[in-house]
Structure 1
Amino acid sequence: MLEKTLVEHGSPTLARLKLGSLMNVFHKGSDALKEEVRRLNRMLAPKGLVLTVLRMDGRRALLYLFRCAHLRQKLRCPLVQGFLREYGYEGFSVASALKTLRSRVELGGEFPHEIGVFLDYPLSDIQDFIRHGGRNCRMCGVWKVYSNEADAARTFSRYKKCKDVYTRLYREGCPLAKLTVATGAA
């Protein structure tokens, strides 16, 4: 069931602490997965979230849960646009950027590390990760940290607490819809 996966791997996004979350899932068939994604999107869309399939490979799929308004805002940033242009991004609407990301993910080979932009990682840490080949980081958590360790540590702690609380609430019967904070909500 995808709901449990969304809670376990996407709770900071559901709670509006983070722009987006990635999750690898096993599925029984592409049609069943697509139907489940459509069902969840009917519930998530009114709260400003979208769940999309980035790649399907056999019985596995890579899903991306994101806050559309937050991603739109991120893609308007000139620094982000300049960075993404280096990796073949030409359009910066949500649809255009996701189309390019999806095609880069599907290519195989080296994973497109610019995906960090779509996951709300600090741009400087994404750039340093690429520059250093993933080595020489100062801290490792949700992402590899190359600067501002104190800020990153606080963020990692908030994400962990959110995941723990959401997982407990979901296990106790709280529905996913109630755990999903609407965009613009306090």
Structure 2
Amino acid sequence: MNEELLINYASPTLANKKIANLFTFKNTKNLDIEEMVVEWNKVLNEKNVYVEILKKSSSSAQIYTYRPSKLKYVLNESKTRTLLNRLGYNTSDMNLCIEYLKVRIKKIDFPHEIGIFLGYPYEDVTGFINNKGSKFLANGYWKVYEKKEQKLKIFNNYNKIKKSYKILFNRYKDIRTLCIS
């Protein structure tokens, strides 16, 4: 089931410390990516974690792992709704937002508002948009535009989670036990 991919790239989400993770899966072994996502969802949905393919080509796929309850909360924030509505999102429905994000990713390789869907702080998403990706204070899981020290602590925590999850997965080989509800 290639659970190692989720451990390597989505452990902060599995640990319930991050809204979502996004990673590119290079399909060098010509695996059935859709089937892999179905299998992951069979295991993870009961823990309130969902996996979707945002974009796919013959050799790779962008895999989005997220917690719907947390994403809904962020999408309901007034400032977030205003930003996303301005970009054409229907923020009254999380699933429609994800579908529109898929459309945007196909048109624009990396739409900047994707940071909202990944749980990046609003001020850093808008800072990235307003500064066109430059003039940042730090660069880690995202580019930081405010509260640098606080964000560096978050990055450090995510790194610790990833390291711990790799060790635990190597020991137990069961992603169910590592996915926190």
Asked if these proteins are the same fold (TM beyond 0.5), I'd say: yes
Q: Where does residue 19 of structure 2 map in the other structure? A: 19
- Matches of 2:117 and 2:30 in 1, distance apart? 26
Q: Where does residue 87 of structure 2 map in the other structure? A: 87
1:137 correspondence with 2:141: no
- Matches of 1:169 and 1:177 in 2, distance apart? 12
Q: Where does residue 111 of structure 2 map in the other structure? A: 112
Structure 2, unpaired ranges of 5+ = none
1:11-90 alignment runs, 5 A limit: 11-27=11-27, 28-29=29-30, 32-90=32-90
SS in 2 for 1:64: strand
- Matches of 1:34 and 1:60 in 2, distance apart? 12
Calculate the TM-score normalised by the size of structure 1: 0.92
1:125 correspondence with 2:124: yes
- Matches of 2:68 and 2:154 in 1, distance apart? 21
Q: Percent identity?
A: 29
Letter matched to residue 125 of structure 2: I
- Matches of 1:144 and 1:130 in 2, distance apart? 11
1:148-159 alignment runs, 5 A limit: 148-159=147-158
Q: Where does residue 169 of structure 1 map in the other structure? A: 168
- Matches of 2:54 and 2:126 in 1, distance apart? 22
Structure 1, unpaired ranges of 5+ = none
- Matches of 1:92 and 1:130 in 2, distance apart? 23
| Conservation of the 8 A alpha-carbon contact between 2:101 and 2:114 | yes
SS in 1 for 2:172: coil
SS in 2 for 1:18: coil
Letter matched to residue 150 of structure 2: D
How many residue pairs get aligned? The number is 180
Deviations for 1:115-145, whole angstroms, at most 9, x for unmatched residues?
0001110111110111111111111111110
Q: CA deviation at 1:14?
A: 0.2
Letter matched to residue 22 of structure 2: L
Q: CA deviation at 1:35?
A: 1.1
| Conservation of the 8 A alpha-carbon contact between 2:76 and 2:91 | no
Which 4+ runs in 1 deviate beyond 4 A? none
Aligned residues: CA RMSD: 1.3
- Matches of 1:92 and 1:6 in 2, distance apart? 29
Letter matched to residue 140 of structure 1: N
- Matches of 2:106 and 2:75 in 1, distance apart? 21
- Matches of 1:91 and 1:118 in 2, distance apart? 12
Bigger Cα displacement from structure 2, 82-91 vs 55-64: 82-91
- Matches of 2:2 and 2:124 in 1, distance apart? 30
SS in 2 for 1:166: helix
